[in-house]
Chains A and B, each alone.
Chain A
Amino acid sequence: MKCNELTKLLNISLLTPDKIDPALEVSGCYCGDLLSYVMAHAKAGDVWLTIQTHQNIVAVAVLLNMPCIILVEGNMPQNDTLFKAQKEGVVLMSSQDTAYHVAGCLYSLGLGR
């Protein structure tokens, strides 16, 4: 599945500009808000669902080759987080729904199965 399909299939808005390749491929999903734990357990290709908005989330995504972060429950990135995501080429999205809801939708779409 490609990142840009997510915005079409789910009620999710894209925060980073289109020039970051929204056609990046995602192959799984991970939910977590303790960044040290996510660093140790998420996998390359995962879409990451989190409520954390601090700029460190971008570094964690880059470290693990996670192409896309979805901020759930209407959380919006801090300015420097959005700036870093643009700079590092990480797709940042936001959803009003909970991580449970978004992960459920992704699962039912077949992601990571």
Chain B
Amino acid sequence: MIYTAGVAGTAALHLLKTERELNVHSVFNNGMNLVSKTGSLIFIGTDKNGYFPFGITLDPFSTKKVITKSRPQDKITINRQEIRHKDFSIILNQVKEYRPDFDFHLADIGLLRENLKQIDFSSYADSDFSHEKMKCLLDGLKNYSPELESQLRYFIGRGNGLTPTGDDILTGILYGDALNKFIDDRSYGLIQRLYNEDITTLVSKSFIQLALNEIFSSRITDLHHDPSVETMNRLKTLGSSSGLDTLYGIYKTLNQE
């Protein structure tokens, strides 16, 4: 069976140009991950959670078929505009490219900060990601404090799911930083180094590595075009808590004391 991809992120298209062979890494509800020998990731699945820089979207019917036929470790070959598995092909000839959105300067930070106050973050107060923990991390990132590495190791990979909560919060912090720079250059280097270790899921790793280059998924970048509560609520629906975790990271970053 042949399926047609709808939208593909720039990072995914780049990987398809440079790789000839991938493997199925994991298969889950909304799609699956393919991984290269060097650990780069492509997500193939529905656009339920918006568009990702390393994502390729299929319609729900095709996604269901593709994930039914795929098992971890299955070999995938890349042939120009075709992703080929032994039981199906995904063709990219009609694919629309999802390009990174770098229009951070368009953001109305005041309104964003104001509207974020309408989101309920009370569940974090007594969690592993309390106000105090967040303050220490943000201060550490800003001043490159000696404790930063242990603080980052505490956050990275902490929590369950495809993207643990600690990583999602860090994505939010990096987005907040893209809007309003505050992180010390040495802190970026440290984040980069830690994420090269296998201390979180491959999906989180892919998100953070792109976020360090100011590349985010569409549900996040929508915020600098429309900082309304509706846009935030759309981001909130991402994953079971990923969207809210990201918003929490942005909220804390933009409201630093």
User: Is chain B a partner of chain A in the same complex?
Assistant: no
